[in-house]
Copies of this chain bind each other. A is one copy, B any other.
Amino acid sequence: MARFAAGLDFGTESARLVLVDVKTGGEAATVVYPYPHGVLTRALPDGTPLGPDWALQHPGDYLKAAEHLLREAARAAGREGVVGIGVDCTASTVMPVEGDGTPLCLVAQYATRPHAWVKLWKHHAAQRQADRLNAMRPEFLDLYGGRTSSEWLHAKSLQILEEAPEVFAAADRIIEAGDWIIWQLTGREMRSVCQAGFKAHWQPERGYPQASLLAELHPAFPKLLDKLGSPQTVGTRAGGLTAAWAVRSGLPEGLPVAVATIDAHAAFPGLGARQPGTLVMVMGTSTCHLLLSRHKVAIRGISGVVGDSVVPGLYCYEAGQAATGDALDWWVHTLSWAGDGTAPARSSEALFDRLGREAAKLPPGAGGLVALDWWNGSRTPLVNADLSAVVTGLTVGTTPAQVYRAIVEATAYGTRQVIELFESGRGIEPVTELRVCGGLSRSGVLMQIYADVTGKTLQASTTPHASARGAAVYGALAAGRAGGGYDAPEEALARMGVRDFIEYRPDPASHSRYATFFALYRELHRHFGEGGTMLMRRLKELQA
């Protein structure tokens, strides 16, 4: 009778439910729930001001979202119609909680302390802490491109310790929001290897970074190890729905709930990707590249590699480009400026369409422009936020569509570079399959340019639910065959992953022409990013 798995996707501004038919992969319901408090960047709900680069969330929003979405699942599938629940969430989205899971920000004593709240992934105020950890060049970073990020758990935790030591001391646990949601639903703290591996440097051989290293950063920092927890493989059962949540949701007590996963990573099973050599690209404001492999090696510049984190039994490599849609948005926003300074002259959508149409008519090379795609710095391979974008080849004849195409091509060169970097890893399978999702996958122009630049066939899915669907896949695995789901990941992925793709095949002539432009991109990349020039860093410093 139970036919559906529920995938809950906790994003930046809202959470989303997708109810997936376990047998057919069909979608029975999709619901979006915007967070009442959204993202807190200027002040706490009580008005306490926040510093620059802060970005917090209210944990109550997650619970309200979960209740609403699970009730919708019960309504759509029927009380007995759901086999299991999977959850994905942004990461590293970190919160200090008490031993029973109570967020410190909901304890009166700490409610006015910004550090007691949930630090959203894009909280960027812990850069100094990240810099200090990086300066130590610890060996454990070899599997993380040599650097930790200010967005990750260690930098954020160290910021709490240094700026609010009593909050740090009061926090029995420091936990990812995704893991905390699982804890709330099941009553059991159960951490995910995906969050721990990619955002807290956990590796099975040695666990989290060791106490002696943490002590070099702050004498009390080794206490962090007591606040974490041993992580579990994704796709396994974290526990069953509590009696209280059965009441809140209208679903049965004990309903299997899967270990949490990172939102971008959930897109991998969501797209049904399961083979070594398959690259999944989640292309929105930025691009997240996820590659599956049988082997674990350190590749300089790659953001991380973690086993059992996406498909049990295989390793997942993660890389990223910090500005993709963001860079195109910047250009559209710039062109909109002439209107009246605040509102765009025409809708962004109309501008995107027109730029895309005109750019599509241009040959490779964007009318003589080559750009570096560093509108938000470089994530892979340089891991350097001080870098900024460059456009070369401008003349009085340069058109807005040429610039647009140059930005698209620059991000495609960046992706080609990521693919070549992955493939340079010893033993790594060649990238034979490329699946794409995210907002940019809807642009045929952009997809074709990516196919032509990389020389790979792209399978693009326009679903907005790839992550939620992936979470549902994990929900079905948590249920197991006995519970109406699946035991074998391959089977769950094949049945429940997206099957409708638009295929973009590389045009051989364009691909060969792009080899020349890619060489020019690499030349700029070396000069501004790898060479002796510190021009961009100096530009940033001069602005500070």
Residues on B with C-beta less than 8 A from A399 are 334, 337
Q: A338-B345, A345-B339 are in contact. Are A396 and B539 (CB under 8 A)?
A: no
Query: What is the bound-complex CA distance between A142 and B406, given in angstroms?
Result: 40
Q: Answer yes or no: A219 CB below 8 A from chain B CBs.
A: no
A374→B389 CA distance, assembly (Å):
18
Which candidate, A54-62, A119-127, A489-497, A530-538, is the interface stretch facing chain B? Answer: A530-538
A375 within 8 A of B: yes
Q: Which residues of B contact A523 (CB under 8 A)?
A: 533, 535
Q: Could you tell me the distance in whole angstroms from the C-beta of A386 to the nearest C-beta in chain B? A: 10
Q: Are B327 and A396 neighbours in the complex by a CB distance under 8 Å?
A: yes
| Interface flag for A354 (CB, 8 Å) | yes
| Stretch from A73-81, A204-212, A293-301, A363-371 at the B interface | A363-371
Instruction: With a 10 A CB-CB cut-off, give which of A393, A517, A520 has the most chain B CB atoms.
Output: A393
- Picked from B334, B335, B396, the residue with its CB within 8 Å of the CB of A330 is B396
Q: A346-B338, A394-B390 are in contact. Are A365 and B326 (CB under 8 A)?
A: no
Instruction: Determine the distance from Cα of A489 to Cα of B196 in the docked complex, in whole angstroms.
Output: 84
Interface string of A359-381 (1 = CB under 8 A from B): 00000010111100011100000
- Beyond A345-B339, A535-B523, A543-B368, whether A376 also contacts B395 by CB under 8 A is yes
Answer whether residue A400 sits at the interface, using C-beta atoms and an 8 A cutoff: yes
Give which listed residue, B341, B390, B398, B542, contacts A517 with CB less than 8 A: B542
Does A388 interact with chain B (Cβ within 8 Å)? yes
Rounded to whole angstroms, the CA-CA distance of A374 and B388 in the bound complex is 20
Question: A370 contacts which chain B residues (CB < 8 A)?
Answer: 535, 539
In the complex, how many angstroms separate the beta carbon of A156 from the nearest chain B beta carbon?
A: 22
With A338-B338, A346-B338 as known contacts, state yes or no: A323 contacts B535, CB within 8 Å.
no
Q: Mark A467-485, 1 if CB is under 8 A from B, else 0.
A: 0000000000000000000
Shortest CB–CB separation between residue A384 and chain B, in angstroms?
A: 13
Given contacts A368-B540, A370-B535, contact A394 B396 (CB under 8 A): no
A488 at the binding interface (Cβ < 8 Å): no
A368 CA to B365 CA, complexed, in Å = 27
| Given A330-B396, A400-B334, A539-B520, also A354-B339 (CB < 8 A) | no
Give chain B residues whose Cβ lies under 8 Å from the Cβ of A520: 535, 538-539
A390 touches B389 (CB 8 A): no
Q: Which of A480-530 contact B (CB under 8 A)?
A: 516-517, 520, 523-524, 527-528
Residue among A391, A392, A536 with max Cβ neighbours from chain B (10 Å): A392
Interface residues on A, range: 35 or more
Known contacts being A392-B388, A523-B535, is A338 close to B351, with CB within 8 Å? yes
Q: Contact between B395 and A389 (Cβ–Cβ < 8 Å)?
A: yes
Q: Taking the complex as formed, is A14 at the interface, i.e. its CB lies under 8 A from any CB of chain B?
A: no
Min CB distance, A110 to chain B, in Å? 33
Contact of A376 among B369, B396, B524 (CB under 8 A): B396
Partner of A389, one of B326, B329, B337, B394: B394
Task: Render A304-337 as a binary contact track against B, CB cut-off 8 A, 1 for contact.
Answer: 0000000000000000000100110110001111
Q: Is A344 part of the contact surface with B, judged by Cβ < 8 Å?
A: yes
Chain B CB within 10 Å, residue with most, of A339, A375, A543: A543
Chain B nearest Cβ from A43, distance in angstroms = 21
Do residues A400 and B327 form an inter-chain contact, with CB atoms below 8 A? Answer: no
> In whole angstroms, what is the CA distance A15 to B55 when docked?
62
What is the minimal beta-carbon distance from A329 to any residue of chain B, in angstroms? 7
Contacts of A516 in B (CB 8 A): 538, 542
A536 / chain B contacts, CB cutoff of 8 Å: 392-393
Q: Tell me the smallest distance from the CB of A395 to a CB of chain B, in Å.
A: 5
Chain B residue numbers with a CB within 8 Å of A354 are 341
A543 to B389, CA, bound (A): 23
Q: How far is the CA of A542 from the CA of B533 in the complex (A)?
A: 27
18 A-B interface contacts by CB (under 8 A): A337-B338, A338-B345, A339-B346, A367-B543, A368-B539, A368-B540, A369-B539, A370-B535, A370-B539, A374-B394, A390-B393, A391-B391, A393-B536, A516-B542, A517-B542, A523-B533, A523-B535, A524-B535
A contact residues vs B (CB 8 Å cutoff): 323, 326-327, 329-330, 334-339, 341, 344-346, 351, 354, 365, 367-370, 374-376, 388-396, 398-400, 403, 516-517, 520, 523-524, 527-528, 533, 535-536, 538-540, 542-543
Of all A-B residue pairs in the complex, the 9 with the closest CB atoms, nearest first, are: A389-B394, A338-B345, A335-B338, A368-B543, A337-B400, A393-B539, A368-B539, A388-B393, A345-B345
Beyond A323-B396, A334-B335, A389-B394, 5 extra complex contacts between A and B, CB < 8 Å: A338-B344, A339-B346, A390-B390, A391-B391, A393-B536
